[in-house]
Amino acid sequence: MNNFLLKALAYDKQVRIYVVRCDEALNEIAERLNYYPSALAAVGRVMAFTTMMGGMLKLEETVTVKVEGDGPIGLIMAEADAHGHIRAYASNPHCHFEYNDLNKLNVKQTVGSMGYISVIKDLKLKEPFIGTIPIINGELGEDFAYYLAVSEQVPSVVSLGVLVNENNKAISAGGFIVQLLPNTKEEVIDALEKKIRNLPTMSELFSSDYTIDDIGKILGDDTYEVVDKLPVSFKCTCSKERFSSGIISLGKKEIEEMIEQDHQANTICHFCGSEYKFTEDELIKLKEQAK
């Protein structure tokens, strides 16, 4: 396994650095649900960002990122926790666009340039924290940086990249977030801006066999310090019990219609493709629990 999330501090603890690689987790999703290349690239970027956002959490807290653009992929949603577990899906995994002049996957056309991005953090309080911003670009790196600056008031640089081969498999997927902590000195900001401006793309770095440790060190300075390093893996939290709760929430009338029309129900998890079947007897029991 070579998928990890790295958390580090640098510049005398004035800068926080997150670097992630998540192509193995992304490919598990791709294989289960047959993603096309640019859809896979878009979901991979959202997955990488969400994994890093999960790395900012504690214990049993979770984060959900929703990208709802006007592109053909529709809704992209990813969920992560503080332990490197991630799952993600797109409404339409079967879309594909390339930049004609660059021969690169066109994430912007896939996602769309209008719509909204929402970040929902379940911090195990009474109400979740929800931050929403408009999509300003569609390539997602700049959009997520805008979210961090506006909703969380943390100046950040976000770089994301997914490289997909001719077999619709991600060769690499990941990214980094660099955040300025309060009272960061101007000379540190200048040094970081110059360094990041001259840095190759994430796809180029991974293609050149740079590891997340290498990338973290490049972004840091001689005070660079790794705080934590977690394995990243796909983990779906679906279960028949969860789908049972979902059916109950539909209400007696709708469950009754299921029973009368189909005498059963087949449900499929959007994240992993697992199928859960409910017999007529099971639906009758669920109807009794519904309002």
**What confidence tens digit (pLDDT) does each residue in 72-101 have?**
999 999 999 999 999 999 999 999 998 766
- Spatial separation of the C-alpha atoms in residues 96 and 106, rounded to whole Å: 8
Place of tokens 């059963």: 264
Do 253 and 208 share a domain, yes or no?
Answer: no
Number of domains forming the structure of the chain: 2
- Domain hosting 266: range is 240-289
pLDDT score at 167: 86
**What confidence tens digit (pLDDT) does each residue in 20-73 have?**
999 999 999 888 888 999 999 999 999 999 999 999 999 999 999 999 999 999
Do 125 and 167 share a domain, yes or no?
Answer: yes
Nearest to 145 by CA among 177, 108, 173, 175: 177
CATH at residue 67: 3.55.30.10
pLDDT score at 121: 96
With a cut of 90, say whether residue 104 has pLDDT above it. no
- Is the whole model's pTM more than 0.75, yes or no? yes
Do 195 and 211 share a domain, yes or no?
Answer: yes
Do 63 and 164 share a domain, yes or no?
Answer: yes
The CA-CA-CA angle for residues 290, 235, 139, to 5°, reads 100
Find the mean pLDDT for residues 154-164: 95
With a cut of 80, say whether residue 286 has pLDDT above it. yes
Torsional class of 153: left (φ above 0), alpha (ψ -120 to 50), beta (otherwise)? left
- Spatial separation of the C-alpha atoms in residues 217 and 223, rounded to whole Å: 10
pLDDT score at 174: 97
pLDDT score at 101: 65
* Residue that terminates a domain, selected from 234, 254, 277: 234
CATH at residue 273: 3.90.1280.10
On the 0-12 / 13-18 / 19+ scale of CB atoms within 10 A, 256 is middle
SS (H, E, C) 83-149: CCEEEEEECCCCCCCEECCCCEECHHHHHCCCEEEEEEEECCCCCCEEEEEECCCCCCHHHHHHHHH
Of all residues in the chain, the percent with pLDDT exceeding 70 is 98
Do 202 and 244 share a domain, yes or no?
Answer: no
pLDDT score at 102: 66
- Spatial separation of the C-alpha atoms in residues 216 and 140, rounded to whole Å: 21
Do 223 and 246 share a domain, yes or no?
Answer: no
Cβ-based neighbours of 48, under 8 Å, separated by 6 or more? 20, 22, 160, 162, 173, 174, 175
